[in-house]
Amino acid sequence: MQGMMMNRPLRIADILTFAEDVHGSAEIVSATVEGGIHRYTYKDAALRSRKLAQALLRLGVTPGQRIATLGWNGYRHFELYYAISGIGAVCHTINPRLSVEQMSYIVSHAEDRILCLDLTFVPLVEAILDHLPKGLRFIIMTDRAHMPETKLPGALCYEDLVEPETGDYEWPEFPEETASSLCYTSGTTGHPKGALYTHRSTVMHALMAGVSFLECLRPGRRILPVVPLFHVNAWGLPYAAPLTGASIVFPGPQLDGASLFKLMDEQKVFSAWGVPTVWLGLLAEIRKHGRIPEGFGEVIIGGSAAPRSMIEAFEDLNVSVCHAWGMTEMSPIGTQGSLAPPLTDLPKEKQIDLKSTQGRRTFGVELKIVDANGQRQPHDGVATGELFVRGNTIVSGYFNNQEASEAAFDAEGWFRTGDVASISPDGFLTITDRAKDLIKSGGEWISSIDLENMAIAHPDVANCAVIAVPHPKWDERPLLIVVPAEGAKPDKEEILAHLAKGLAKWQVPDDVIFVDTLPLTATGKVSKLTLRQIYADHSLPEAG
């Protein structure tokens, strides 16, 4: 027997319309590429998004066509999110940190018709123009006063397109399964793979985020997404924030600690979202000032595991840490680690223990771990296995890539994450490592994440990474690569002694290398692939 309820399609544009009607005075504040701060409301953004939609239609954009963006976190990029998907086209966000080969591949693979780019990226695109498909059109995201001379053929000015339109536009209806946006993985192995989201999955993800991050996703809060709009929809914040009435503060291109501190302080940001490498810079700036930015109360850390020492540093400043985990293929949020009673009544050390995990699953996401034979492992906090996921915000395959799609799922239809994990009886997920980053030494597994978390707790270590290097006797041994803290001159033996206090002898790295910086992936994580290439022939000291 079926119920008797209306069935209206879930549409992304309805989020912005709702924000316009209910949270119209909440703000979007942007540090702009041109310089200065731009400030307007959700009501303003809704009008401009409709005008942009009219402009795109006038350019001949049709449903299903892919429109690419190459931009920082700012209000124009936000408008593109809604205008492109709102007319039934697909918003393809491109990571500017990709290589020329990767960028030209995904533009061609996606069959993009238009590329919308910030001023910063005009020279980059001019340099790779010969590698891009012929007939690609360009919109430069600026006003007439800042429109540059450019080699990009027929380049259009964003504000010139938007300004003449009326904004008197009704968002069209289409099935909620209609494709809305496209994000490619960073492609550390093989070509990048495209995750093609739908209106339904995006709206559901926004609703899920809204009931998961209750401290920040509510009216009156101000959120800083340092996680970029060009990567996994900035973890869904451009949708979840207007849905819940929280204001957004976009940082633009300046993501160093000093710039973030200044912006957060001036705009009284409560919650900031980003990867651990970003927060190292902010913590250093906080130490310089001797205080936290005004209003700062929460940090959401994802992308890679946050060191326990980082969590403790923020918590000691009365900034609550919420560890989260997810993937491009998951829209991306899968788990989050905010604590509620009775867990908030636990001793602080126990709370840090829980916050050091990846948290518990969000509504609509299911988790399982399996052994090498595909057998499910118990959620007892002891057993480990490869992590698989399924749910309504998780891909069912990769865009135009049958081979990759077939390899990504098990016989039950669960998605293979490539992470090794355990799950506690009360649902807390602990990522042991990426399967490819585990170190197998003499038949025993060593977690690079555990070693890194211990090393970065040393006061002379600003950042670090652990990789496996070949060993004639033990197959692989861990190598620790350290970026010294500012002004510090760390001693190799002292750091190894620090690690030995909490590790078995066979788990301690055989060598330590000191470097000025660590290579980063296109998404701001430490690139262990690059490190393995650099140190593939590294000779370890004699080991027992």
Tell me what percent of the residues of the chain surpass a pLDDT of 90.
85
Position 215 scores a pLDDT of 97
| Stretch (H or E) spanning 441 | strand 439-441
Q: Flag whether pLDDT at 473 surpasses 90.
A: no
| 20 labelled catalytic | no
Candidates 288, 440, 444, 494; catalytic one: 440
Q: Flag whether pLDDT at 543 surpasses 80.
A: no
| 188 labelled catalytic | no
Q: Which two tokens stand for residue 248?
A: 């957004």
Spatial separation of the C-alpha atoms in residues 193 and 421, rounded to whole Å = 24
Candidates 298, 329, 386, 452; catalytic one: 329
CB 141 within 8 A of CB 119: yes
Scanning 245-307, the segments in alpha helix (DSSP H) are 257-267, 276-289
Indicate the DSSP class of residue 397. Answer: S
pLDDT band at 103 (very low <50, low <70, confident <90, very high): very high
Candidates 177, 294, 445, 494; catalytic one: 445
Spatial separation of the C-alpha atoms in residues 517 and 527, rounded to whole Å = 11
| Stretch (H or E) spanning 480 | strand 475-484
Position 544 scores a pLDDT of 42
pLDDT digits (tens, 9 = 90+) for 340-365: 999 999 999 999 999 999 999 999 99
* Domains in the chain with CATH codes: 365-434 (2.30.38.10), 438-534 (3.30.300.30)
pLDDT band at 542 (very low <50, low <70, confident <90, very high): low
Sheet with 415-423, strands from edge to edge, namely 365-370, 385-391, 415-423, 429-434
Candidates 32, 178, 185, 244; catalytic one: 185
Amino acid at 447: S
**Can you state the percent helix, strand and coil of the chain, rounding each to 5?**
35, 25, 40
| 329 labelled catalytic | yes
CB 93 within 8 A of CB 67: no
Please, what is the Cα angle at 87 between 86 and 92, to 5 degrees? 75
Collapsed DSSP state (helix, strand, coil) of residue 253:
coil
**How many other CB atoms are there within 10 angstroms of residue 207's CB atom?**
19
Position 437 scores a pLDDT of 84
**How many other CB atoms are there within 10 angstroms of residue 150's CB atom?**
16
Strand 475-484 versus strand 511-514 pairing type: parallel
| 185 labelled catalytic | yes
Smallest Cα–Cα separation from 462: which of 328, 310, 265? 310
What count of residues does the chain have? 544
CB 260 within 8 A of CB 274: no
pLDDT digits (tens, 9 = 90+) for 206-235: 999 999 999 999 999 999 999 999 999 999
Mean per-residue pLDDT of the chain: 94
Q: How far apart are the first and last CA of the chain?
A: 70
